[in-house]
Chains A and B, each alone.
Chain A
């Protein structure tokens, strides 16, 4: 079960990435603050979705910016001046709990998306950023229509490791676990084509959706740690919109590269 090339520690891997060696990473002064909004962490945070918010914060630091994490839950006041938004998946019960509040925030979120605010929505919030989610039990949960997609609940659960090929981000690796099947309309592009796994549904062969600076996907894992290209796209977009230019730092992605190599070889 262990490929021979793993038994000898690889130099890039055993060597400590210097980002992790510093116990207290403080941002270099001057590059600026980026406000990261996590949507509904209480109800929509399953399968490691928190990891996406953590990765954005840490990589902002590694690029020399100061992250400010804001959690938005049902009933909270919607914060102003948000630079990047992340939202995760939830159980069906979580989706029901947030739906009224999400509808009330729909106009604000649509406006932010139209203006080009970078967003990452995973699984449950991907579905609710679409037009509707018709659950297998019958009731239809309306979405906020940022994405031209429709989701229908099924009794078939699509579970397992996934690999995509994306023209924008290259190879994307993750894990899917959903029974809602999503169909894309003409207003969005898929995030990538599936080379292993199911993706949006069991027949179309593509995964996720792209609209302006919104990235939507079913992939957990969490998605961003093993796909730093997507994390850096969100960060670069947020910084450029706020400060005009993005001056990147040099995060050490040695472990990410090795984790990707190993994940790509695992069974579905």
Chain B
């Protein structure tokens, strides 16, 4: 069937590109004149659609799933960074389909923001879904964590084939009890690594509740701790992250443990690799996967934009770590130890960062006490300074002007590896500045 919407949408897309416009406009046009376009096009894919959602790590995980599937010879359609909403998917599709509206792919793997994913799955029920975590993110937008969990539950309910869940996040693991149709698989962590993944419920009581109800005595209380949300017994996971080394990691699946070199840094990213493995295995079919190629692809996955990527400045590594919520910041501090690094923190409160600064008080900065922080910047640099003052962390300089602060940081920490923790919009500003002095991949 020939449809006018595709040529028209592609034309709008080409025009909006010429104007340097965003990706949504062509998606909007095609949505208006042909509302069935996305659903129809994705329905043609032989292996169906997989949705990746959750608060943290969607981008890196989606990228990993795509690369893992490509190692198995599958053609994968995916949405570009920053277009993780329905209209963005439609726009990405327009760029990929031929003039007859056909998509040359076996499967679509789509990163979708929790709220947008709900609209998406109502239009296009996925065959697979991967639900990563429910953390305090943009509470400005969703109001409450429990509401975010309900959004993910809705995605699971609409999934026809397999739902892959994070066994270690109680709010995600609990979704298993609510789905009746699809098969449920888990990705999990070795017991020894669980303490490095605080969740929002036990952040003030690190020894208290775990996802599995293994309660230990609470420091200050006299009565035994009752975990807020307990999963009675830990279900078997399809893929388990067993160990994380300096440059390698152990994953267990199919009853065996494999050790592989990893380009990815940070325990948190590597846990998402376990998530990606579980989803990729489900899509490719566990019986028919080529494990050698799968593991090789896993070892070569590089971090996505801002997720612990390393640049070179003055012959020294400079790492950018995106922090956008308390759990992400805590994981960042744990995953990237401060020792031997010069540190800088950049905090903005623009809409995309979240306006509420409360989250800085839900992170403990003790790990920075020994080495201090050289430079603080961003619109809310003084909120960060105040936070560090109360954790007794030494502060070098505070300057809300990002370019000036970055220049001072680089000047002042010559010969040392550098690390910058930054919120989303401050990272964009920092990358713009860094692009003037080193090679920075431009994300469109």
Contact = CB atoms under 8 A, between A and B. Distances in A.
A188 to B, nearest CB: 25
B355 A55 contact: no
A58 B393 CA distance: 13
A259 B349 CA distance: 13
A221 B390 contact: no
A116 interface: no
A161 B357 CA distance: 10
A266 B355 contact: yes
A232 B425 CA distance: 35
Nearest to A19: B389
A17 B386 CA distance: 10
Interface in B40-72: none
Chain A, interface size category, equals 35 or more
A70 interface: yes
A256 interface: yes
Interface string A76-114: 110000000000000111100100000000000000000
Contacts of B201: 42
Interface string B120-145: 00000000000000001001100111
Interface of B: 136, 139-140, 143-146, 201, 204-205, 208, 218-226, 228, 349-350, 355-362, 369, 379-383, 385-390, 392-395, 397-402, 404
Contact of A75 (B144, B220, B223): B223
B417 to A, nearest CB: 23
B358 A20 contact: no
A7 B392 contact: no
Contact of A255 (B218, B219, B389): B389
A42 B208 contact: yes
A255 B385 CA distance: 6
20 contacts: A2-B379, A2-B401, A2-B402, A6-B399, A13-B398, A41-B205, A42-B205, A42-B218, A42-B228, A47-B356, A47-B359, A73-B221, A93-B146, A175-B355, A226-B383, A255-B386, A262-B379, A263-B357, A266-B355, A266-B379
Contacts of B395: 16, 20
B204 A41 contact: yes
A50 interface: yes
Contacts of B402: 2
B130 to A, nearest CB: 25
B143 A77 contact: no
CB-based closest 7 A-B pairs: A51-B361, A48-B361, A48-B358, A71-B220, A47-B358, A259-B382, A75-B223
